[in-house]
Structure 1
Amino acid sequence: MIESVVRYIKNGKFANDLVFEKILEEQKGSFVDLEIIENQIFKETLKEMGISHLYSHQAKAYKLIKEGKNVLITTPTASGKTLCYNLPILEDIYLNGSKALYLFPIKALGYDQKEKLEDFANKIPLFDFKVEVIDGDTDKKKRRKILTNPPDIIISNVDILHYSILPKITEWETFLKDLKYIVVDELHIYRGVFGSHVRNIFQRLKRFLPHLQIITASATIGNAKEFARDLFDIDFEHINENGAPSSKKYFLFFNPETVPAANLSSYFMKIFIESGIKTLCFTKSRIQTETIYRRLISDVNVKKDSISSYRAGFLPEERRAIEKNFRDGKLKGVIATSAFELGIDIGGIDATIILGFPGSLMSLWQRAGRGGRNGNESLIILIATNDALDQYFVKNPDKLLSSSFEDALIDIDNEIIQKQHIQCAAFEKPISNSEYYYNHYSRIIDNMLESKELFQDEENRVIVTFKNYPHKEVDLRASGNTYTIMMNNIIIGTNSAKKAYTENHIGAIYLHRGETFIVEKIDHSKREIHVKPANPNYYTRPLVEKQTAILKIHKETNISNFNCKYVDLLVTEHLTGYEKIAEKTGEKLGKVDIETEPIQFETKGIVIEIPETQLIGNLMGSIHAIEHAIIAMIPTEILCDRNDIGGISYPAHPQTGKISIFLYDGYPGGIGITKRVFDKIEKILQITLLNIKNCQCETGCPACIISPKCGSGNYPLDKNGATALLEFILNKKSDTKKVSNSVHKDDILVFDIETKYSANEVGGWKNAHKMGVAILVAYSFKKDDYLIFYEKDMRFFEDIIKNAKALIGFNIINFDFKVLSAYLSINKKHSIILDILHDIKNITGKRFSLNNIAKATLNIQKCADGLQSLQWYKEGNFDKIIEYCKKDVEITYKVFEYGIQHKKVYCDNKGLKITIPVNWNYVFM
């Protein structure tokens, strides 16, 4: 059947779009006799199950686990990794009454494993075996019952380990006293910021159970042993030789030119379903998943109940029903995001369609491995999109089969995450200054003692926290609180706060199981997103303004004609609106401005500094294009998603004074991506240059420099300029003349404005641009003097701020800049911007007035208020407005000065003077 379908496709109407094909021949297995198993009953049981031998890697795992070794297994998908640990662990439970804790990253894998364990144990005579699942769906009553008489194996996840086991360890004592094994499946999932949290969770667990035996299994990654050691802080015996046989696979790679890639996926899905071929289609986004599903169910020849979409955001009961129906054969096709990439048992898949290179070779072959699980032939179809990474492999298809797998990584030095877990550790058990945990984190713990985040006993022997259950403040996936998506007060989905900021804003289009909705209201207090049914002809794309400031330089290197620094960064991202994009043509239909609060975080990043150079073309367009192109190529070297990386470019950054391209980890504290990029920067830039030069487009396209997530709508971009500039910095052309291209910006301004009209007079705060400037006062660090500007002077003020290194104020982002937008254009990339109100709100989660901060910090207060200033304007009394505005600037300056000197300011909170730590020194860097 598969061979005939392959022939049909190769001779069909899209045959010309086939760019690469390969037959992956059947592989013979390597087997070991069952005699290595110690217990005769287990040998006989396996034979009754139809298992007459073990694969060689299963036999090796059995032996090492029985010897008490920590074992890492990285054989391919469908190679029998589960039996590697189930066999020796069940045998030990049967003979010695040991206990095990199995941890899985998703609930479906846990329930799938429970069925397999029970099926195996039920075949063993006189084996009174119990296994239970404890996860977020397990109610307190059932959990207490399980822990009162604990089973042999508990299946759970790292969330339960963090939120329940460690903080409530006495409730788990009966189970933990006999715990010998921890199994961590799908190890590769625990990378990035999630992995940094998991590393710290296991460091805390070791304080109670230092001698656990850990068995872990993973998809194939480039640095598996190093990654496992970083995650668990122990050494492993690594099993990576695969003894399992594999069936014949047909691999076809398409680069569609006459139809969109998603349409080609739908075409193949329809053919396979009509041919009785069980098919799984992987997409790269929720929108793609729902779009393909909607297109298929609108076809009269496709039975709606024979296919389904599957993605994050579905309710648990929806996901489990889809998994069961697919496994039982009721569903013939499923369109899914990466959720089905993991080892959920969904039966034998005949064909796998992968829409778009999934970002890593590891993910590609993990998805491809879902097919042919019953020893039958299978088909893998990879369909390239216009994405730069996809098109890189279109030009180099052999690399799909010959390249090494990417390295997985975590940031083991993320202090933001470490401080959170130290608080949790101190809650779970006082930290002794003689224990390993203290020695491991002594520098951070001492700093936390100094800042009164932790406290010592009278004799300075143990350390405690006064926080009550600090675990709830730890977001393991750095995604923020979960928002529920509601339609007529019925929950239809969920999304993380991090994604909801740009995906589910007011006016955003939301797709769910073939239906289209529009976001009409957001209730942040209840974390609810309310949508209503819609039938638009467009989708939405967010517009985000970004700003970076260098806080600290860790290391730097000079290569060819550029300098690269690995740095700490302060990043500000501000959703300012969205574009409407025509669903069928991709044409921009319009832009909508919206009001949102900026988000701000500290992270790790690199800055590529380029010296003065003569450049033919648009400088901003050239470096913007390079920024996009680098981000697209990073996943060829490092296991990550382009959405994990942010970027911003400056023709002249106010701190470096040079052409500067910033790339940063898109999570607070960093996740280690740009640290690796720094080490490989020259190679990544060379790959980037080749990809741009080899692209056949004239002015730039998604295959080279256009980004699907650009916050400025991919404007401006200059492909030719990007090529020329990359050739220069990589020293590919030696005759480029140097000319001055930098702008020296050295003044720092603290400013405030008083308006002509109130918000009520112009129709609300959304019309701040209509409020008009009565007076603007700015304090100049360079002149050490106050500058006074009337409304007629706004153009003069514009010239001054273009040469300012930094702009400082109180509520300038959401007020002053909006008032000024009626008079001038403020390019926030030209200057460092410190909004003290916003920074303090970002630290505390609360808004405090300037009067509150000034009185608590300096015991000074404002001399009037805004309403009085409006009255003075109506009376024409500009002298009093100037005096009042000048006083506000002086207070703002003194608060800033105090914060610089003392690294803190104060606020009054219900009569208590509270310390707010601040880090404003970057303004001077």
Structure 2
Amino acid sequence: MNFPQKLFGKPVEHCQVNSQNQKVLGQHLACAAFEKPLCPEHDERYFGSGMNSAMVTLNDKGCLMSNQAGHSGVWNYVGPDKSPSRTVSIRAIEHDRYKVIDKQVYGVLEEIEESKAFFQVYEGAVYMHQGCSYLVERLDHSSRTAYCRVADLKYYTKIRDHTEISVLEGDVALPPMCTSSKTGMVRTTAQANNCKVMTEWVCFDRIWKSNNMFSDSIKLDLPSYSFDTQASWVSVPKSVRAAIEQRKLGFQGGVHAASHALLSIVPLHMMCSTADLGTQCAEPQQTSKTPDRILLYDKHPGGIGLASQVKLLFGELLVAALQLISTCGCTNLDGCPNCIQSFACGGYNKNLDKAAAVLILKGVIENERLSVYGKDGSQQS
């Protein structure tokens, strides 16, 4: 361990969930209405400004009904579930989930959130459960069910996807807890915005277990999946890009690597795992133009408040990411798992440039310092 003080010397993190997430709020309201009818006029102060829109959604789904037209009046639970709280998962936000069924015994192995399902189950996938390998033989989209069987295979599978993150207008509000604490944080120009994440699944690779060598690739015909969430990001100055290209280094590979470094050190600064956040992984053959930025997005549909916390910590994260890469002793151009490689990378750690990542992080940190404090060190208005 290189920096034990980072683990043992920091205060306990705040455990925080965004109660205004529409998926969280909708399930909360359904359970509340089951116990006692809701009246927006009196109850909005408890459930927040998003109450009306969540109730309209529940009304459209046939879960809530008002005793009069409009949003006023009393809303009663009329949904299909005898006890809606029993359908709410304490481990997942999404209500829609795919069931993974062992067709030989017709038992449910697991339920996977819809936004994560196609990363694990698709026809031809090798699915692992409690150390046992299964082959997914059929995927039924209408019932959201994956049928598989136990299989002793000599290969494993990796899916290839393409994910686009589109930042939308409108800033994400900072939670009161965040605005009132951390007064000594490093100030930056980082933004936190709503965003749309669109994922398309291209194919999957079969790889031999014995030597990790590529066997073949099989195209997939899966529907794309998109969801609204939140992202925090900071721009990379044009001057930094010019300096990278002048040195004949890979700019996109550098941004990719720098984003991975931030992703890996986030759990040391806030209560989350690397699976809770994602970044845009650049591919060498990528043709779409992406803005020059370092971005982390909340992988939970609707967002659970992580982006606003990342925004406040972005200055610290940039410095910590630079330290992580600079102190790693590996000499590989594409780094190693201790610095810029990520097991969660959708591009399987292709197109990474360690040297470019160091220059980009140094350039962004310096630009942020000048933008916030100016050349004379005084805070800019």
TM class, shorter-length = 0.7 to 0.9
Q: Distance in 2 between matches of 1:450 and 1:488?
A: 42
Counterparts of 1:500 and 1:460, CA distance in 2: 35
Q: Which residue of structure 1 aligns with residue 154 of structure 2?
A: 537
Which structure shows the higher helix fraction? Answer: 1
Deviations 1:196-248 (A, max 9, x none): xxxxxxxxxxxxxxxxxxxxxxxxxxxxxxxxxxxxxxxxxxxxxxxxxxxxx
1:497 to partner: Cα distance: 3.8
2:73 is equivalent to residue 457 of structure 1: no
Is 1:609 aligned to residue 235 of structure 2? yes
Answer yes or no: is the 8 Å Cα contact 1:561–1:730 preserved in 2: no
How far is the alpha carbon of 1:562 from its aligned partner?
Answer: 7.3
- Distance of aligned partners of 1:536 and 1:456 in 2 relative to their CA distance in 1, 3 Å threshold: same
* Residue from 462, 478, 502 that aligns with 2:93: 478
CA shift at 1:630, angstroms?
A: 1.0
Alpha-carbon distance in 1 for matches of 2:56, 2:151 = 55
Please give the alpha-carbon distance, in whole angstroms, between the structure 2 residues aligned to 1:496 and 1:595: 19
Counterpart of 2:354 in structure 1 is 719
Pair 475,560 (structure 1): closer, same or farther in 2 beyond 3 Å: closer
| Residues 1:670 and 2:303 aligned together | yes
Conserved? CA contact 1:566–1:678, under 8 Å: yes
- After TM superposition, list the pairs within 5 Å mapping 1:657-696 onto structure 2: 658-696=291-329
Deviations, residues 173-214 of structure 1 (Å, cap 9, x unaligned): xxxxxxxxxxxxxxxxxxxxxxxxxxxxxxxxxxxxxxxxxx
Deviations 1:742-792 (A, max 9, x none): xxxxxxxxxxxxxxxxxxxxxxxxxxxxxxxxxxxxxxxxxxxxxxxxxxx
Residue number among 49, 72, 89 corresponding to 1:443 in the alignment: 49
Say if 2:22 and 2:302, in contact at 8 Å, map to a contact too: yes
Give, as a single letter, the amino acid of the residue that structure 2 aligns with 1:622. G
Q: Is there any run of 5+ residues in structure 1 with no aligned partner, and where?
A: 1-393, 735-925
1:250-303 Cα deviation digits (max 9, x unpaired): xxxxxxxxxxxxxxxxxxxxxxxxxxxxxxxxxxxxxxxxxxxxxxxxxxxxxx
Asked if structure 1 preserves the Cα contact closer than 8 Å seen for 2:37 and 2:74, the reply is yes
In structure 2, the partner of 1:413 is 20
> Hey, what's the Cα distance between the residues in 2 that align with 1:433 and 1:731?
49
| Partner Cα distance (2:288, 2:66) in 1 | 42
Q: Residue 550 of structure 1 corresponds to which residue in structure 2? A: 167
SS at match of 1:696: coil
1:488 to 2:120 alignment: no
1:424 to partner: Cα distance = 4.3
Q: How many residues align?
A: 337
The partner residue of 2:135 within 494, 499, 518 is 518
Q: Structure 1 residues 712, 461: closer, same or farther in 2, change over 3 A?
A: closer
TM-score, scaled to structure 1: 0.33
Shift of residue 709, structure 1, vs aligned partner = 1.7
- 2:218 aligns to what? 592
Structure 1 585/694 Cα, relative in aligned 2: closer, same or farther at 3 Å? farther
Deviation at 1:730, TM superposition (A): 0.8
Cα-to-partner distance string for 1:110-156 (whole Å, 9 max, x where unaligned): xxxxxxxxxxxxxxxxxxxxxxxxxxxxxxxxxxxxxxxxxxxxxxx
Alpha-carbon distance in 2 for matches of 1:689, 1:460: 51
- The DSSP-based 3-state class of the residue aligned with 1:697 is coil
Which residue pairs with 2:2 in the alignment? Answer: 395
Deviation at 1:522, TM superposition (A): 2.0
TM-score by length of 2: 0.75
| Identity rate, percent | 23
User: CA shift at 1:666, angstroms?
Assistant: 0.7
- Determine if contact 2:298/2:307 at 8 Å carries over to the other structure: yes
Contact 1:646 1:663 in 2 (8 A): yes
SS of the counterpart of 2:344?
Answer: coil
Aligned partner of 1:706 in structure 2 is 341
Corresponding letter in the other structure for 2:162: E
Matches within 5 A, 1:250-649: 394-397=1-4, 399-432=6-39, 435=42, 437-441=43-47, 443-447=49-53, 455=66, 457=68, 462-465=73-76, 467-469=78-80, 471=84, 477-479=92-94, 480-491=96-107, 493-498=109-114, 499-512=116-129, 514-554=131-171, 563-613=189-239, 614=242, 615=244, 616=247, 617-648=249-280
Q: How far apart are residue 508 of structure 1 and its match?
A: 1.7
Contact 2:39–2:75, Cα closer than 8 Å, also in 1: no
- Aligned partners of 1:733 and 1:441: how far apart in 2? 37
CA contact (8 A) 1:562 1:610 kept: no
For 2:136 and 2:104, the matched residues in 1 are separated by 12
Distance 1:517 1:426, change over 3 A: closer
Which whole-Å CA distance do the structure 2 matches of 1:696 and 1:431 have between them?
60
Distance in 2, Cα, partners of 1:598 & 1:580:
22
Distance 1:484 1:468 in 2: 26
Distance, in Å, in 2 between the alignment partners of 1:516 and 1:459 is 53
1:724-743 correspondence to structure 2 within 5 Å: 724-731=359-366
703 and 538 in structure 1: CA distance in 2 versus 1, 3 angstrom threshold: farther
Amino acid at match of 1:484: V
1:640 CA displacement: 1.0
* Structure 2 CA distance for partners of 1:635 and 1:581, relative to 1, 3 Å: farther
Verify the 8 A CA contact 1:431 1:463 in the aligned structure 2: yes
| CA shift for structure 1 position 584 | 4.5
| Per-residue deviation, 1:446 | 4.4
